[in-house]
Amino acid sequence: MRHTVSGEDYREDAGRTLREIRIFGIKYDGNIKKGDNLARITIESLGKEGIKVEEGDIVTLTHVAVSKSIGCTIGFKQVKPSPLAVALADRVRKPPEEVEIILRKSREVVRLVGSRIITRTKSGIVCANSGVDVSNVDGGLSMAFHPRNPDRVAKKIRRQFLNEGVNVGVIITDSFDRPFRMGQVNMAIGCSGIAPIRDLRGSRDLYGYVLRFKRIAVVDELAAASELVTGSSSEGIIGSLIKGYKYDFSETGVKSILRPRKKDLFL
């Protein structure tokens, strides 16, 4: 089932037919606690700046904000590290409690490199340290970890928005290291209400040539775009509102774009 959400894809004012996308940071000065309604927080925070969340917009939220709102955090003091975690901690120069949570949240350890433990998370994402974060949680006392099923959490947040009367696509993001390239890039770990891929195979280019391979991972591009406004760490920006991007409705989720190892082109 696909339908196109209108958004404000084309600016018709001033005679323009030009596509324009606008991205706003969602600034929240409070400390997100378990049980907080992120849809309400988003709508209220943007409302204070005069920005309205509208049908067809996309809301991206950082995984730390989301994890805090659903209780996917744990204090260092609550963790009893296993002997394996203790042994590894020295090698990767991390507290044993952090290593313990990294291991618990992983399905498999893919590699050990320097201070990074590359794992496949329970939800199937290959990344450093299972996406366990100490930054932006509570100053170093606790860790935030990925929900076990981020697509389901995105769906829950999308329902919160529907309850507030607005139909949006929701993307949960985290920034990851990548093979081949230095520097982290923000990617989608879960999504709801938006098709993760825009499939252009079979469509024609400007000269009539039929595209054979073009399938754009739009949720990852939207996630990357959102970090341009969430970027730094100290500003309390928990995500972004993206206006003007026309997308297809889908509930297939980010899970559908995680490449099975056997089909991986590069490995």
**Contacting its own copies within 30-89 (CB under 8 A):** 49-51
Residue whose CB is less far from its own copies, 145 or 156: 145
Q: Which stretch binds its own copies (CB under 8 A): 72-80, 97-105, 165-173, 235-243?
A: 235-243
Look at the block and give the residue holding tokens 């993760």.
Answer: 196
Check binding of 227 to its own copies (CB under 8 A).
yes
Residue whose CB is less far from its own copies, 148 or 201: 201
Residue whose CB is less far from its own copies, 27 or 159: 27
Query: Rounded to the nearest whole angstrom, what is the least distance from the CB of residue 226 to its own copies in the complex?
Result: 9
Query: What is the rounded distance in angstroms from the CA atom of residue 9 to the CA atom of residue 206?
Result: 20
Check binding of 231 to its own copies (CB under 8 A).
yes
Strands 116-121 and 198-199: unpaired
Residue whose CB is less far from its own copies, 1 or 207: 207
Query: What is the rounded distance in angstroms from the CA atom of residue 19 to the CA atom of residue 9?
Result: 6
Query: What is the rounded distance in angstroms from the CA atom of residue 188 to the CA atom of residue 168?
Result: 16
CB 185 within 8 A of CB 176: yes
Residues in region 163-192 near its own copies by CB under 8 A: 175, 177-187
Number of other CB atoms surrounding residue 265 within 10 Å: 5
Query: Rounded to the nearest whole angstrom, what is the least distance from the CB of residue 180 to its own copies in the complex?
Result: 5
Strands 116-121 and 126-128: antiparallel
Residue whose CB is less far from its own copies, 56 or 156: 56
Q: Which stretch binds its own copies (CB under 8 A): 72-80, 84-92, 112-120, 164-172?
A: 112-120
Which residues is 120 bridged to in the sheet? 108, 126
DSSP letter assigned to residue 196: S
Q: Which stretch binds its own copies (CB under 8 A): 101-109, 145-153, 157-165, 194-202?
A: 194-202
DSSP letter assigned to residue 248: B
DSSP letter assigned to residue 43: H
Check binding of 110 to its own copies (CB under 8 A).
yes
CA-based radius of gyration for the chain: 19
Pick from 198, 249, 251, 252: which binds its own copies (CB under 8 A)?
198
